[in-house]
A and B are shown apart, each in its own frame.
Chain A
Amino acid sequence: MEDEKFDAIVVGAGPAGSAAAYTMAKAGMSVVVFERGDYPGAKNVMGGVLFREAVEGVFGKFWEEGAPLERPVVDQRLWMLGQESVVTAGFRTQAFAAPPYNAFTVLRAQLDPWFAKQAEDAGAYLITETQVTDLVFDDTGRVIGVRTGREGDLFADVVIMAEGINAFATVKAGLRRDFTMENAALAVKEIHALPPETINDRFNLRDGEGATILLLGEFSHDMMGSGFIYTNRDTLSVGVGAIVSHLVETKVRPNDVLDEMKKHPAVQPLLAGSEIKEYSAHLIPEVKYSELPRPYGDGYMLVGDTAGYVNFLFQEGCNLAIASGGMAGRAAVEAWERKDYSAASLSTYQQKLDDSFVLQDLYELRNGPAFFRNHREFFGIYPRMLNQAAEDLLTVSGLSKKTVGMSILRDLHRQRPFWRVGKDMFDAVRAFI
């Protein structure tokens, strides 16, 4: 394949890369996609919930086209765990059980091949088991191709980097600084097999309905971290994640944090008798808006996790990846039509991101990452206080309700003085509004 030239090269056949490749191939561009795994998705992990809207924007009505989806999410729960107690909140609606749906649970190793297949069917050429090690530049500093482990050098007018968070080639080429342990979270996850009827019973679901549980509390050792349990068709996705620097300073093993959450008396019955099928780990970008890289330049664009597009608060990543991949694809098609792949020409990608939920949401949440790193009480003390207060309130003790109420207030105040609570809330309002 020496010296062959394509209109576009995409590095990485995850959702962002396939969205870009599909968009370009459909418009008639010649596109080659490199994937280092044996198949798309072989290296990919997420919780994972796939939100319908952004995916439909690129791939159309994928839920009618045979995309391997697990269950539509109808029930979203928040569990704040105490030592042996839990305070819960949640939202369930039947509206999310019917087309066009809001979100689906998915398994990435099974879903990603479907996205890649859409790109292939549109005419893109997928090369698996091949790692892109370097970018190739011309004398003027423009990206003109890629160097691969197996296929030698390959050239294109535009290269779209969809390598995922680790983005070795992107960082090596100086197109993005490497993330640090402060702006990445590490998640570990297990797949638990259970019969579908058992999942339905334990989670109060019918066939074709799914639930998600977001867990906070004691198991996170006061780190900025959380856990999750998602219902798939005949498996559960069970995992925990925390900021990498918090794991380092807390000196805890991610696998131990996961095992601790699984032992909680409210969690354990959900998993009882299951067979573990797989153990996985993945990094998640949690980058400040002001530290996001410039996502384009002469002859290249960055999409998805490579560009750091994750909404940490709403736990959205895949839809930002697919939306950004689609936008980069459209920007490339426009550049192809005017035969100009300069940074100025590709800057329409930035414009599209700025005009969309991708960068608008990240801008709105720009103070969020710093806020939660400095206010870890939301992961430790507050769930603890809530559990204590609920237990005191609901324990029938022979004392008058007024006496109990006063004693709860005194206890809460001792754990975190009310002026501190007030300041936390004030900071929260300031960070997010």
Chain B
Amino acid sequence: MKLEDKLFLDKFTRDERSHIDIVSDDVCRRCPDKPCTIVCPADVYHWEGDHIVVSYENCIECGACRLICPYNNIACTMPRGGFGVQYRYG
């Protein structure tokens, strides 16, 4: 099963506002490995031409992204109360 299909199984309450921000696109352009595009387990980060696109609606709130960005360029918080993933099994 593909990752996007796995994520489709999870229950989300989607917020219209993102809880993740890229601080500076310039920093991402200079980042050689872009580890967020690999290690994020929910494929939230995609490199599209000249900047990172953040699919925050996919976020399953593990918090790894803020640890892996070598430049502390990901301002990641948790979704507002009542929003985001709602695990049924956990």
Contacts and interface: CB of A to CB of B under 8 A. Distances in A.
A207 B87 CA distance: 26
B80 A254 contact: no
A282 B62 contact: yes
Interface stretch (A78-86, A91-99, A105-113, A295-303): A105-113
A109 B88 contact: yes
21 contacts: A36-B82, A38-B82, A109-B88, A150-B81, A166-B61, A168-B78, A181-B64, A181-B67, A186-B41, A186-B62, A186-B64, A244-B39, A247-B39, A248-B35, A248-B68, A251-B35, A277-B89, A278-B10, A281-B60, A281-B62, A283-B63
Interface SS of chain B: loop
A280 interface: yes
Contacts, number: 134
Given A36-B78, A276-B6, A277-B9, A44 B90 contact: yes
B28 interface: no
B86 interface: yes
B86 A276 contact: no
Interface of B: 1, 3, 6-7, 9-10, 13, 33, 35, 38-39, 41-42, 60-64, 66-68, 77-78, 80-82, 84-90
A179 B62 CA distance: 13
Nearest to B7: A279
Interface of A: 36-39, 41-46, 48, 107-112, 128-131, 148-150, 165-166, 168, 178-181, 184, 186, 188, 190-191, 235, 244, 247-248, 251-255, 276-283
Contact of B90 (A109, A130, A131, A248): A109
A41 B39 contact: no
Nearest to B62: A281
A237 to B, nearest CB: 8
A279 B9 contact: yes
B90 to A, nearest CB: 3
Given A254-B39, A278-B87, A131 B9 contact: no
B87 A180 contact: no
A149 B89 contact: no
Contacts of B13: 38
Contacts of B64: 181, 184, 186, 244, 281, 283
A148 B81 CA distance: 9
Which are the 4 A-B pairs with shortest beta-carbon distances?
A: A109-B90, A129-B82, A108-B90, A279-B6
Contacts of A178: 66-67
Contact of B88 (A46, A148, A244, A278): A278
Residue with the highest number of chain B CB atoms closer than 10 Å, among A235, A254, A277, A283: A254
A235 B9 contact: no
Nearest to B36: A248
Residue with the highest number of chain A CB atoms closer than 10 Å, among B42, B61, B81, B85: B81
Contact of A131 (B6, B60, B78): B78
A131 B78 CA distance: 9
B67 A244 contact: yes
Residue with the highest number of chain A CB atoms closer than 10 Å, among B1, B3, B89: B89
A112 B86 CA distance: 13
Contacts of A254: 39, 41
Contacts of B6: 190, 255, 276, 279
A41 B33 CA distance: 35
B17 to A, nearest CB: 12
B1 A181 contact: no
B23 to A, nearest CB: 16
B14 to A, nearest CB: 13
A188 B39 CA distance: 11
Contact of A166 (B1, B78, B86): B78
Given A109-B88, A149-B80, A280-B60, 14 more contacts: A43-B85, A131-B80, A168-B78, A178-B66, A184-B64, A184-B67, A186-B62, A244-B67, A251-B33, A255-B6, A279-B6, A279-B9, A279-B10, A283-B67
